[in-house]
Structures are given as C-alpha cells and as structure tokens.
Amino acid sequence: MVFEPKTLDYNLSPYTGLTRESWVEAGKYLLTGVFTHIKSIEDPVVMPRKETEVTYPHKNAVGNQRKLEEMAQIFEGLTRTLFIAAPLIHIEPTMEICGYSIRDYYHKQILYSCTKGHPNYVGCYDDLQELTDTYDPFRAFQQTVETCALVICLENCKEEIWDTYTKDEKDMIANFLLSFAHTNTVPQNWRLFNMLNMAFLHKEGYDIDKDVMLEHAQAILNFYAGDGWYRDGQSFDYYSCWAFNVYAPIWNEWYGYEHEPYIAAMFEQNSNKLMESYGDFFDRDGFTNMWGRSNVYRNAATSSFDGNLMLKNPTANAGLSRRIASGSLLQFMTREDFLYNGIPTMGFYGQFTPLVQGYSCAESVFWLGKAFLCLHLPADNPFWTEKENNGSWETLDEKEVKETVLDGPALCFTNHNANGETILRTGKILKNLGDEHGMWNYSKLCYNTKYPWESAPCKEIESMQYVLKDTTTDNIEKCNVTLWNGKHDDVLYRRQFFNYDLTRETTWMQALNLADFPVEYGILRADKLRLYRSPITLTLGAYGFPDNGTEIIRRENKNAKAIILKGHDYTGREKQLAMTIYDGWDDIDFIHSTNTNPDSEKSIIVYGKTARHKQYGYEQFILISQVITKESREDFTEDELFPISEVVYTDKEKHGGYGPVTIVLKNGIHKTIVFEGMEGNLQL
C-alpha cells in the first residue's frame, strides 16, 4: 500500500499538492508501519528485516558482541523513529497510533533506554567499554550517534516530554548523555553529535567541558571545502547535507550564537552558500540522486533546507525548499516496493542488498525521518506558507541545460530541461583497491536522478564505469581513484586510475583522462587512454535500464553505432535510453542482469567495448561515446542519436595521441578537448 495524502492544495503547492498537514499524514503513515509491530508499550522499536546477511545484529555475533549490537539496535529504533514522532507529538500531543499514545510510549522508552538494569537499557559509555573487554579509550559506539538524535527530538517535543520528567529523571538522562558527550567519537561528522549533546545539556543547566566543545567545533569548521560542502572523512556525500548543514545550524541556535559567535557566523555563511546551488542538485520532480554511502536514508538529504531556515539570517528559498522536500518524499513513499512489512526496505526503492552497509540495522532507515524535522517549523513559517516554485527549472528554455561546477567538493551537476533529469559528475575520490561498494557509491562516471546506480552484472561490465581486463594475466581492474581537474572551456576534466595503489608509482598504473560535457538529453564523453601495458580489453556501460519488457533497437550512422532501449520502470513510468559509440570503440552490445538494479529485478546494461593489442604502438587513444535518456518512448531524432558531424584531430593519424581534439556537433557547437597541462592540477 502506497502513501496517499488526504490533504492536497494545488494552489499553494502547484507541483506536489502537499501541505504541512500532508506531511503530518505522511509521518503518521510511517509510524503506523512501526507500531503495527509493537506488541506492548513496554517493547522497544525493533523491527522485522528482510536482509540478514549484511546488516546488524550480525548473524555470527555472539556473547558480548551480540549484546552490544542488540543495544545499539534498540537505541537506533528509538531515536530515529522519534525524528518523525517528536514534531508530531508537539503538533498533536494526544495523537494515538495503533492504540498507543505516542507521547506516552516515547516518554517511557526514553527513560528505559537510560535506566541501568532495564531490558531496554542501551548502555552508557563505560558500560559499553566493559562489554568490549578492552577499555580502549579511543573506541566509539553507535550510541553516540543516537544521543544526538535524542536531544534534537527532546527539543522538538520539549513541553510534551522533556519538561514532564522529574528532576531525578532528567538527571538520569543527562548523566547518560554526558557519558557520551565528553568521550571518544569518530573524527568526522560524529564530532557534531558530541557538540549537540553538550549544547543541549548546557542549555538545560548542566555543566559541560567547554574546551571539548571548542575542540570539536573548530575541527568541524575546518572540514569545510567550499561551496557549502564539508569533507566527511575522505569523501564528499550527503553527510555534508544531512549532518553538517543540519547539526551546525542547530548548534548555532542552542550554543554557538551566544558562546562562539565567530564559528557560528561561519557555519551560517557556509549553509547560506550551500543554498545558492543546492536546489539544482535535485531534478525537476524534486528527486534525490542515489549517490554516496547510506542510501537507505533516502530523502533525508532534503533536511539541510530546514537546517538553513533555523539560522538567524537564512537564505533558502522557502517555496523551492518545500517543493523539493515534498517531491523527494513522494519519490519514495508513492512506490509499492518502498515498505517491507510496513517498514522502509534496506534499499533505495525496494530491497537492494548491494547498497547495504554493515553499520546499518533494520531501524537505521529511519534516518530519513530527518526530512520530517521541517514539521518543527510553525504553520506560519514561510516554508509552509510560500507558494511552491521550481527554481531553475522554471527559467530554462525547452531543451536548455544548466551546469553547476563546484571545485571545492569536486561536484558538477547538470539540469537537463529536455528530460527533467539531473546528472551528477564527481571527483576527489579515493577508495581502497577492490572496494566495489565504495566505487558504486562514489566512482561512477555519472549519477542520474532517474537512473539509480546499478551494481556489477558481471566481472567485465559495469554501469557508468570503465572496466579493464589485462589479457596477459586475465586480471580485471576498476577505477578506485578519481582526480579532479575542473571545467575548462565548457568541458569537465578528471582522471581515473585503475587499481590505484600507493605502493606503486602512478606511471605503473593504467589510467584514463576523462573529458565530458552535457548535451540536451545527457553527457557526451571524449576520454583518453593512459596505458602503460597492453594487450587489454576495455568496456564502458551506460546506466542500468529497468527491464520490465524492453524494446531493443540497433542503429548505425557512418562510423557510429547506437543501441536504444525503450521500456518502463517498476512504477510503469516510460523510460528510454540510447548509447552511441564513435571513435576508439570496436562495438556496442548489451547484457541482461538480475538483482543488480535498485528499481527493478531485471535490467539491461548497454556497453561499448574495445581492445588494444600492442605493448607499444600508436593505436587509437580517444574514446568517444554518448548516453542520452528521456522519460518517454518518443523517438530520439537522428541528430540526437548521432550528434557529431566531425572530429578534428591534431595528429595526422587521427588517433588523438597529442594535441587538441575538436568535436563538431551538428547543431554548430564546437568542443575542443585539450589534455596537455592537466597533469599540473590534479586534485584529491
């Protein structure tokens, strides 16, 4: 059963129809799925799960390790569902779901989680250390994450829950929070969890170590990379949006503005900088792109709009913010496969094990509840009262493409008005050799809001990734490092290394220099091989295409070949994809796959393939290809399928080994690719 809002207002919300009351209904819909599984008001939020091989409690965990994981699961279930419940409790204190007073349930369970000896106790820091038998002072626990969620939710329903506790009960909760606030944490976005614990406690009159607070705050500030984005560990991903740009504004409000005004001002400036371009990160329907880790959190990426609106001087466009938040909500909640037994699946849409990570449990998905924090904004806030607008999409010409390049976080995203899709190209990526999961999340050449990334259908073919086979050894190599060079003369340049390994000089690694630019319906590539040994074979896949009955068409035009797929996704929405290969490729083909696509059980990947035969020989260097898509079965025109009229090479052999390569499009546009010089500015 899909979510069907009862309250709709297309005058206020012409794109989605959703209002504040619609969001309340959506929250109740999700909580109903949760409380269907709660047999008693004494029971914790422990939900059924379909996936048991990757997520925790891990099937092989025993003894104290099993106990640790079960305690963490109880706490995740409590705090993450409270993301949804807390603002609803404040809006409707007498709310009942499945016969339970939601306020009374969470009032009890919060106390239980902090009460030593209770079956639902989740352990203070020292208790968890004791269970590990190591007393490692640098150990961090999942509970630190969840204490932050707890204090945010306690603030959001302060009058209904926190203020109703006795002093002794408050002190017990505070001591539990303090046990994590000042102790070790993970040195990335986790520092914010400690900061909010301390900020909440300080606000409520408890003593905190302000030196610890300041050390964490300066570290968070110095993760800032520019353009509103923070580096989280090595990576850039949605943690910048659903952690840094949500928790920092809350910290400002609770602590920073008063006690650390310089840092607070910088956090505010950074959030406002994000708002300058973040609306264009989503597509015309408000869809969230499947990219980076923790994709089970789905539309939580919209919570940074709410974070910005908490600031003293926010710059978020309220009508656009609500339109995107509501569009992304509908992206997931209107799908039949979104829920399993009433609970969001461990996937992006339906259950999709390839994206699941071992730090997640069945309840982890409710991090998506952060999107519901917007309900803490009062009904008269502009977020709820301004008319929905669609930002850049309202100003683009019929087939115009808007391109945004952010050099700080190495993100380039294009809004394609011809099909309503947003395509993301990324850089500054470093993943361990063999980390296929990391490469799927970060190293794809493109991420498309309407074509979520596909895992590997076979060893030698990947969607939106090059795969190299050394035919001397039969070794398969994939790109685990992407260096950023930036945009020059309307072309984006990057470099990818196959099997990057710090024990070798880069000249002893196979690589590709990447050059690509947007066309009306997608991206056209003119990449250059940077090989040190042959013979090799090479493949490049298009996006994974959901196969629910697909028409497959082959076309040729002079030296170019194309394969067109026409079909529809799981929801019945029409889809069409075409891949065209030009210079450098031997042929184009496709492969069927099962259980590798997030949208549908079956899928098809179109791919180009080529080989290089000589160890040293002046063979073709430039690989030209295009992938275009549309949300209909209407035929692409001949010029859209085969857009190139001429490729002009500098070298007389026309292999592109040196010198500029100019691609002349049939519409008169010229794109000149120049790889010389990029060696001096490769960023990680």
In angstroms, the CA 402 to CA 394 distance is 12
Q: How many CB atoms lie within 10 A of CB 38?
A: 19
pTM for the model stands at 0.97
User: Domain ranges in the chain?
Assistant: 34-384, 404-680
Q: How many CB atoms lie within 10 A of CB 653?
A: 11
pLDDT digit string, tens, across residues 67-102? 999 999 999 999 999 999 999 999 999 999 999 999
Assign domain 404-680 one CATH number from 1.10.3470, 1.10.1060, 1.10.20, 2.70.98: 2.70.98
Dig out the tokens for 665 from the structure: 């499009």
Whether 245 has a pLDDT exceeding 90, the answer reads yes
Dig out the tokens for 48 from the structure: 């059924």
The predicted structure's pLDDT at residue 21: 98
The predicted structure's pLDDT at residue 233: 84
pLDDT digit string, tens, across residues 162-182? 999 999 999 999 999 999 999
Q: Please count the residues of the chain.
A: 684
Dig out the tokens for 97 from the structure: 């779901």
Q: How far apart are the first and last CA of the chain?
A: 45
What is residue 572's three-state secondary structure? coil
Residues 6+ apart with CB under 8 A from 148: 192, 193, 194, 196, 197, 247
What is the Cα Rg of the chain in Å?
Answer: 26
In angstroms, the CA 420 to CA 397 distance is 12
Whether 306 has a pLDDT exceeding 90, the answer reads yes
Residue 228 to residues 223, 411, 516, Cα–Cα distance (Å): 11, 12, 25
Say if CB 325 and CB 305 are below 8 A apart: yes
What is residue 680's three-state secondary structure? helix
| 155 backbone dihedrals φ, ψ, rounded to 5° | -70, -35
User: For 34-384, which CATH class?
Assistant: mainly alpha
pLDDT digit string, tens, across residues 454-499? 999 999 999 999 999 999 999 999 999 999 999 999 999 999 999 9
Q: Is the dihedral of CA 227, 229, 234, 237 positive or negative?
A: negative
pLDDT class for 134, splitting at 50, 70, 90? confident
In angstroms, the CA 91 to CA 84 distance is 12
